Structure 1
Amino acid sequence: MNSETIEEFATYLELEGKSKNTIRMYTYYLSKFLEEGYSPTARDALRFLARLKKKGYSIRSINLIVHALKAYFKFEGLETEAEKLKTPKIPKTLPRSLTEEEIKKVIEAAKNLRDRLILLLLYGAGLRVSELCNLKIEDVNFEKGFLIVRGGKGGKDRIIPLSETLLQEIQRYLKTRKDNSPYLFVEIRRGKKDKLSPKTVWWIVKKYGEEAGINLTPHQLRHSFATHMLERGIDIRIIQELLGHASLSTTQIYTKVTTKHLKEAVEKARLIETIIGGK
C-alpha cells in the first residue's frame, strides 16, 4: 500500500513541476513517515518531526521535511492539516565568498583535468551541483560559446555564455575521454561508467578545498561567482539570469537576444582568465 502511495505521490509532484531531486527527497521522507506508522495528520507530523529533531536533524532538514509532508497532505486532499503545519524560520546567512586568490589556490590544487573543469564550471559558470551532474556534451555550443543548463531549479532552462578560455578547458578535457557517454562528466559506478553523482562533486570540492587550506562547499563557488561578478560592476539582473533566478525563454529568437548581453557580461568580468591566466 505504501509503495503505491509513494508512486502516486511522486507522479503528483512531477505534475506539479517539482525537480527530480525534490521528488526524490520528498518521497524518501514520506516513506519514512508512513513506514513508522504515522497517520496523515498535523499532530502525527509534529510527533515525527520532534523525533527527528531529537536525533540531531538540522533546522534546514526539518524545513525540507515539513514541505514534503505539507505537499503529501495536499495530495491527499487534507488542506486543513497542511495549513496547520508551519515551516520553521531558517536564519538567512550567506556562505562566505572566497577571495580570487583562494579560488586560484583551489583550481591549482586540481591536477586532474576532469576535477579541474568541475571546479572551473562551478565557479566560472555559477552552476548548481545537480546542474553540473546533468550536463551533456551536446549542451555545450562551441561555435557560439555558451552552454545550456536544462531543467534547472523550477524546471527552467537557461543559457550561460562561456569564455574562450573555459571552452578550451572543456575541449582539453574531452580529448581525454575514451567512452561514449553523452554526459560531460562521468564516473565508474557499479562497474560501469555513469554520470557524475552529487556526492562525488561534494567530495571533489571538499578534497581540493582542504588541499588549499579552505573548508569549501560547491555552493561557495557559485556564491563567489555571483559576488565577484557584482564586484566587477555587472548588473544584478544579469547575475540573476546567469544564476537561474529569473525566467528565460527557450525560443530561438529570444535566445539570440539574451545571449548577446549575457556574453558581454561574462567577457567583461573575465573571471576564469584572472584565475588561470588565460589571454
Structure 2
Amino acid sequence: MSGPLRIGVLGCADIALRRMMPAFAASPDLELAAVASRDPARAEEAGRRFGCRPVHGYAELLHADEVQAVYVPLPAALHAPWVEAALNAGKHVLAEKPLTTDPESTERLLDLAAKQGVALMENVMFVHHPRHEAVRRLVAEGRIGELRSLRAEFAIPPLADDDIRYSAGLGGGALADVGLYPLRAALHFLGDGLEVVGARLTRGPGREVETAGAALLATPDGVTATLVFGMEHAYLSRYELWGSEGRITVDRAFTPPADLVPVIGLHRGSETEEIRLEPADQVAATVAAFVTAVRAGAAPRADTLRQAVLLDDVRRRSA
C-alpha cells in the first residue's frame, strides 16, 4: 500500500463521531474519504465536520472505488452482514466490538477475510495501550512471583432508556458491551487456555437484556480469573494480578483518556511502588495497529476468535 489508507465509515454512531473519526482525521497514515448514513442529513453534517464525502446508504459506500477500508460502528447485531458485505467488496475492515454476536459467525468472517487477502480487525482498543505490555513485563520478570489469579471489573452508570445497548434485537446487553473488557484482559494476561468454570448474568427490572454479570474462568494449571461487569453501576474500570509474592493493580484500565498519566501499582509485602508511564492515546494506537494490519494484508485473529468462544461460553454457563 502506497500513500495514506483511504477509509470510509458505515454509520454516524456516537463512538464514530466522538472518538474514531477524529482519530482517523488526525492520523498521517489515513485519509478519511467518506461517511455513510441512511439519513442523508446526518451524512452531510458528518461530512462537513470531517471534510469527507457524505454518502446516502451503506451499500453505496462499499461500492466506492476510492474507499479501501471501512470502519463499522453499527449495533452488534448488524456487524455480521455489513462486515461480510465489506469483505466481499474487497475492503479492509475495522469493526466495533463484539465483531459478531456468536463465535460461528466470527470464525466465518475471519476465514472470509483470509480468503480475500484483507485485514479484519475488531476494535478492542485497550489492548493497544502500552501500560498493559508494561504489566506483562513485570509479571514475566517475576516481580509478583508466580501468578495465582486475576480479578477484572468494568461497570458503567445507567444509560438512556432508548440506548441500543438495552435492545436484545440489536445485540445489546452487559456481557457484550462491558463484560468483553475484563474477559479480554483475562485472555490477554492468562492466555488462550482459559476455560469458563461458572457464570451468572442478571437482568435489571424492565430490561430485555442482562445488565450485570460475573464469571469465573481458569487456566489448565489452576490460575483463576474472576470477572465482574455491569451497566447500571457506579463507574469502575480496573484489574489486579495476584501472585505468590505480590500484586499488580491497574485503575482506569480500559478507557483511559489520552492525557492520563498511566499508573501501575506494584504491591509487595507492606511496600507499594507506583510506576508512572508517559500518557498514551489508545485510540491513535489502535488506528496505527489497523494500518499495520492492512499493510500486512491480515490482522491477528486468535484472540478475536477465542474471545468470541469465551463470551458464548459465559452466556451458556449462565443459562
| TM over 0.5, shorter chain | no
| Greater radius of gyration (CA) | 1
Query: What is the TM-score of this pair, normalised by structure 1?
Result: 0.23
Structure with more helix by fraction: 1
Structure with more strand by fraction: 2
